[in-house]
Structure 1
C-alpha cells in the first residue's frame, strides 16, 4: 500500500509540531478518549494498539486501565513526547498505511482522529483489522462534517479574509473519501470487513482562550495551520482580525471561549 500525495503532505505538515500541538489542539482531542476506550472495551491485560498516539493521551488512559499498550506515531517528536509521558507503554515510530506488526497481534486497536490524517481511510481500516485478532475490537474517532460551530471558527476567519488554500495542499481523492456522518462512517467500517459496527455522535463544548486557540494555526498545526502560514503577513493579520471578531460569538466568562464541537465515534469487531 503506497502512500498518497495526501499522506506525504500530512507527514510534512506535522513535522516538528509536537510542542505546538500539545499547547493548542491536544486538549480538544483528548475529550473523546474515555468514550473511545469504553467503545473498545479495553480491559486489564488486553493487548492494545494506539495508532497515531500523538502526545500519548489514549495510551496513558489505556495503561491506567491495566492494558498492555503499544503506541505508534509517524512523527518523531510525537513519539518522543509520548514515550516520556507514558513510560509504561511501548512507543514506536510507525506510519500508516502499513504497520510493522504481525497479523492478529492485538486484542484492541484504537485511533483517536487518526483517520482524518490518512490518504486512504478504507485501506487504513483494513490494515487495522489485519493486526487485530478475530473477534477483537477496533474503535475510532473522526471529526464530523459539516463541522460544529466551534470547529468552524478558524475556517470562517480564513474565508472572511479571502485567503486561498495553497495549491500544493492536497485533499483526498474522491474515490478514497467518505461522508463524515454516522451512516458514512459505519459504511466505511462495513466495507473494511468489520462486523457489528456501530457509530454515534459526540457533542461537547471545548473551553479554551483566544490565545491558545490561535496559537495552533499560527504555528502551522494541522491543515488550518498550513493554510494560515502559507499566506503573506498582511493576509495573516487580516485572518487574525476576523478571528478576533468572530470569537465574540463564543465568549464565555472572563477570557474563556466556549467552542461547540462534534465528533463521530465508531467501533466494530475484526
Structure 2
C-alpha cells in the first residue's frame, strides 16, 4: 500500500452516510452506461470494486446478475448490503482482491482508479480476476475538471486554505497517466488488456446548494478534508466563496445545475 492509499483510507473512514447523502447521487449518473459497457446481463458473474453505498451493485442485481461487491470502507459496505441484499458484499480493497483468477465474467469500477496509488497495478488485479475475454469497465473523473466539479476547489483556493500534511499533494504518485481518453486507454493497454476504448460523458448534475455543500461540510473526499482542517475563520471564508460561486450555476428553480465530465472506458482480458 502506498502513502497515497493510506491517506485515502483515512480520508474516507466513517464517511459512508455523508457520501451517500451528497456526492453518491452525482456518481450514480454513469451506472447504466458502465454496466452496458461491461455487458452485464442475467446470470453474469459480476464484481463491483469500490462499491461505495452499493449503487452499481444494486443496478447489476436488478439486471439479474450474480453480484459480488467490495469496498475498503466498512461504513460503505454496510450501506451496500442494504442497497443490494442479494449481492455478496464484503470489505476488500485494491491492489489485492480475495478472489481466484478468472472468477468473474465482468468487473466494474465506478470512480475507483481516482482513489488508488498505483492505477496500473490496480488494473492488473482487475484483469487477474476476470475470465479470459471478459470485460472490465470503469469510470474516472476527467482532468482538467468541468466547472461544476471545480466549484468546491475554487472556493477553497479563493479562501486561502492551506493543505494539511496528511493529505496527498495531488493525484496518485505512481503509474501516473493523463486523465483523458487516450491516457486511460493507454493505461489499460499497459495493464495487458485488449480492445480498450474510452468516451467522455458530460452531464449537468442537479442539486440544491445545501446538498452540494453538505459533502465538504461533513469532510467527504479531498475537498471535505481540506475544509475541515482549516481554522473557523477560513472555513467561513470557504463557505462565503462557495455561496458566491454557486450563484453561477443556479437555475430559475433555485437548483444548481453543475457541469461534470467523466471518462468511461472498457477493455477485454
After TM superposition, the score normalised by the length of structure 1 is 0.98
Q: Report the counterpart of residue 144 of structure 1 in structure 2.
A: 142
| 2:160 is equivalent to residue 183 of structure 1 | no
Q: Matched residue of 1:80: which SS?
A: helix
Q: Please tell me the root mean square deviation across aligned C-alpha atoms, in Å.
A: 0.9
What's 1:223 paired with? 222
Q: CA deviation at 1:178?
A: 1.0
Counterpart CA distance in 2 for 1:146 and 1:172 is: 12
Q: Contact 2:114 / 2:172 at 8 angstroms: preserved in 1?
A: no
Q: Return closer, same or farther for 1:151/1:131 CA change in 2, 3 Å cut-off.
A: same
- Counterpart-to-counterpart distance in 2, 1:130 and 1:147: 31
2:37 to 33, 39, 52: 39
Pairwise CA distance, 1:254: 2.6
Question: Aligned residue for 1:14?
Answer: 12
Q: Which residue of 2 aligns with 1:248?
A: 247
Q: Matched residue of 2:70: which SS?
A: strand
Equivalent in the alignment of 1:62: 60
Which residue in the other structure is 1:166 paired with?
164
Shift of 1:172: 4.2
Q: Structure 2: how far apart are the matches of 1:162 and 1:25?
A: 24
Distance 2:180 2:5 in 1: 22
Q: Deviations over 1:205-251 (max 9, x none)?
A: 00001100001001110011111111001000000000000011001
Pairs aligned (count): 268
* 1:260 partnered with 2:252: no
How far off is 1:92 after superposition?
0.7
Question: Unpaired runs of 5+ in structure 1?
Answer: none
Q: Please report how far the alpha carbon of residue 168 of structure 1 lies from its aligned counterpart in structure 2 after TM superposition.
A: 2.2
